[in-house]
Structure 1
């Protein structure tokens, strides 16, 4: 028996008990189980199971009252999860995880749906925060400039010992939070309630992160990026492919602005991400050196037409009001003395969730997976508009450049089934009419009446951040645009671009077409070469 299937076995062995946390259901239907009076009774039952399990309950769906494997159809299982999600919400809880198996014993995802399926849903205490109460911050900066140490001190409230002790709190593996659909989508998280910050005692414990989410009225998550040069591609994907509300760029006072600092700053600003610059390690240097680094940061910002705003001079409230794609707050901090961390707390407590774009529904696919009983799921951030369960959409372009008609089967946000979702939300959309194998990262979901024109070629204004020689015709970097990561050939106007140059170029995707629109920002890199750009004109094929 596989480890996954062992979860089902343990639940069946424990069985239903009067004071236990396990509940068996063969099927849940909207007509029967959400009727007047029944909903309240079942929600109370769920609440009892959650409390009996010290904040966690296990619902086994697709089994008889005595634990026999009955199996239900994918459609019936999907409806059951919708009903269970509503019951959990009524009981101030939420579905954290769902695993499914075929009744013939095949492991999750491989069973024949015609034989029926059985699933285990883990229910946790605490309602899921609305996205308006949850901001996501992407950290960037040169290696050893104190990103993880600074965030470690923020989320724990602990001062660093000068040797990176708080950084150790955050040495967790990204694969633990890869799905990105739960409120716990990053390597560090803390929150706020009426009494101030709600911090973690030990970020290694998932239960501690869950406690922060449960107790907080507002949540702040940090998505780490990599400071080492060889892993800049990971940094780019973290900053371009993730849905971020703000950027936090660290600059060490003992080192100052480096080439990597400028590259990370360029990537942050190329995506129009409102950014805060934190000068770290101020405890290691003199006041004169701190002032020198402040001037270095301000010069670097003005070189890219941004306006620095010193928080210590103008105040936190002004920084909150003025932060934008063009105004960059700059502050001095020390994780050892905790100087400046109170100002960061105040900013993160008050900064608003950034809004999505205005217009018709549009979402670029970031990840795909197949959920038995639900079908293929495309996850990503809704760029504009809204989507509802049952909507007819287009997905593509496919390999041949066409778009395929699909229907929204269900929508999931933070493991919570919702009827609709709007711009700025990170969602998983279950689709009918397409196979998961046919969906690729970089594809777009659009309204059914849209008339998309995917292209292989477009015009752009670019800036070369770093290159060992010159960029000539036929230069082939990887272009990161929305969730697209594709090799492309550059044909610069005038035949070449030198390091530090800004100019126009034709960009041609090497293998396939994508949905590209004027005004979109992108990052390109190849080896040690990096640059940023803006789409200025789209040429249809």
Structure 2
């Protein structure tokens, strides 16, 4: 039966609403009833559905891709047994990814993913393989272009918060570098063709760079964490530490087991057993799910909104095994964090630069609101807690100049008449209104904390490094409910920053650490 004009209008309205909710993309399942118990589409009917979709896409300025078409005759899982014999004879279900064509870079969907794991787990190599579209030679050829400093190239180890992007167009095709020419695509070229961009934050795996890794996890506001585990090494070194930080911040985790091409089967099996045991433990409470085919990738990405689910991929950067499944999963992965553009402008500074002929440039995450080129803003707090008025001279998103930036985007601002030496990480840009009182910075704040580990007892005047968003500063406990705190204790405590006042927001999560001591918490009240 052909679709009527009323059917097409209903479908158009439904898809439009879902696209708005999904910030420009939506995944639809075609071929199952709502209760998932009976099928009703033949192959011919399924093709008619796709033809109808093509008509609807024209008005919505969008495209779709059939990311997973499954003939149920090939499936033997428990869901298949529920189907009647008649419906199984020619029944088809499929998943369709619908994505709007962005008018410009400022409308592009972005998802940030922090890449963590022990040193030599293959983090930078995987990013090089995923984004460049070339396989590794087994000696780290794919990762060289990701290093930012000379000492990183010489040692082969990441020591800073690096970044790389992977773009997908509106038809879900990955935007990879052309292998024939050997030329790398610039970020501008990727973004000009992309409808969705995954921003990978490549974090250091060595123990001596742990504070940089924690800052990257808190300051870059990742929506997901990709934990890398070497199949030949297992859960060693900083792997458990990084997993613990992700769990403390409440960020969903996916695990990628690398180097399966060079790992003996018994060692690989031991690594998998140890990994699943840790994920199922009381401290993690995760449900490990091994992604072995396209159907698994689609279903896991759909249900990844549950913090308990933990997809596990087994890949090789040399042979390419498992890479297509991971890339398909990343293509379907939905944006989870909701940002509000109606709230006042609030931007956190993660990095500062001095650009010739431009001046001072700051990089960070736009938390709430929106901003235009030429708008007046406040930057601060300085060492005395004051905010200084300035003007936004230019906005860049993924190295592309844009006229406006919205909440949830990672952008860079060129600011007027401000020296780089006066700016530090953790400062904020806020909305400027001369009729409104100046914002206040806080030196003291109250937080509900949980001590994850401490070898002895924590008492008043105890000092630790506090990470809260882009803020990283030593703070001292000036008051607390209990006389002493030990591992596993929860309490309300009052912190005071040792050096500078900071701009904080109630409800923000924090991590404090000192040596092997670790704790997490949430800001409940701002004091003086």
Question: What is the aligned partner in structure 2 of residue 199 from structure 1?
Answer: 176
Shift of 1:385: 0.8
Partner of 2:332: 350
Paired with 1:175 and 1:253, the residues of 2 have a C-alpha distance of: 29
Decide whether the 8 Å contact of 1:253 with 1:293 is kept in 2. no
- Stretches of structure 2 that go unaligned for 5 or more consecutive residues are 1-102, 153-160
Spell out, residue by residue over 1:124-156, the C-alpha distance to the aligned partner (whole angstroms, 9 max, x if none).
xxx984463443322101223332343344335
Pick the aligned partner of 1:341 from 323, 327, 336.
323
Provide, for residues 469-518 of structure 1, a one-character-per-residue CA deviation record: whole Å limited to 9, x for no partner.
Answer: 44333222221212111111135542333345544332211112111122
The aligned counterpart of 1:141 is 117
Q: CA shift at 1:346, angstroms?
A: 0.6
Q: Does 1:479 align with 2:456?
A: no
Residue 402 and residue 236 in structure 1: after superposition, are their counterparts in 2 closer, same or farther (change >3 A)? Answer: same
Structure 1 residue aligned with 2:283: 303
Distance in 1, matches of 2:143 and 2:397, equals 30
Q: For 1:406, what is the secondary structure of its paired residue?
A: strand
**Secondary structure at the counterpart of residue 184 of structure 2:** helix
Q: What CA distance in whole angstroms lies between the structure 1 residues aligned with 2:524 and 2:242? A: 23
What root-mean-square deviation, in Å, do the aligned CA atoms of Structure 1 and Structure 2 show? 3.6
Equivalent position of 1:526 in the other structure: 514
2: distance between equivalents of 1:377 and 1:214? Answer: 23
Give the equivalent residue in structure 2 for 1:173: 148
Question: How many angstroms apart in 2 are the aligned matches of 1:372 and 1:173?
Answer: 19
CA distance change for structure 1 residues 395 and 192 in 2, over 3 Å: closer, same or farther? closer
8 Å CA contact retained: 1:190, 1:200: no
Cα gap change, 1:173 to 1:468, in 2 (>3 Å): farther
Structure 1 residues 328 and 495: alpha-carbon distance in aligned structure 2, compared to 1, 3 A threshold:
farther
C-alpha displacement of 1:443: 1.7
Change (3 A) 1:503 1:252: farther
Query: How far does the alpha carbon of each residue in 1:430-483 deviate from its partner, in whole angstroms, 9 at most, with x for none?
Result: 334654443332122222246533211112233444444443332222212121
The superposition leaves residues 43-64 of structure 1 with CA deviations (integer Å, 9 ceiling, x where unpaired) of xxxxxxxxxxxxxxxxxxxxxx
Equivalent position SS for 1:485: strand
Are residues 1:514 and 2:502 paired?
A: yes
Q: 1:387, 1:422 within 8 Å by CA — same for their partners in 2?
A: yes
The question of 1:236 aligning with 2:214 is answered yes
1:200·1:209 contact (CA, 8 Å) conserved in 2? no
> Contact (CA 8 Å) 1:275, 1:324: kept in 2 or not?
no
In the alignment, which residue of structure 2 is the partner of 1:132? 108
**Counterpart in the other structure of 1:321:** 302
Q: Tell me the residue number matched to 1:223.
A: 201
Question: 1:462 is matched with which residue: 449, 459, 468?
Answer: 449
Structure 1 distance, partners of 2:401, 2:109, is 18
Structure 2 CA distance for aligned equivalents of residues 401 and 371 of structure 1: 27
Match of 1:117 in 2: none
The one of 258, 272, 276 aligned to 2:254: 276
The farther-off stretch of 208-217 and 402-411 is 208-217
Alignment partners' CA distance in 2, 1:267 and 1:130? 31
Deviation (angstroms), 1:401:
1.9
Pairs aligned (count): 403
- Residue 249 of structure 1: CA displacement? 0.6
Q: Do structure 1's residue 431 and structure 2's residue 431 form an aligned pair?
A: no
- SS of the aligned residue for 1:273 comes to coil
Match of residue 230 from structure 2: 252
The 1-side partners of 2:213 and 2:149 are apart by 13
Q: Is the 8 A contact 2:448 2:492 kept in 1?
A: yes
Aligned partners of 1:376 and 1:327: how far apart in 2? 42
Deviation, 1:258, is 4.2
Q: Normalised by the size of structure 2, how large is the TM-score? A: 0.66
Distance 1:419 1:315, change over 3 A: same
1:432 and 1:400 mapped to 2: Cα distance?
A: 21
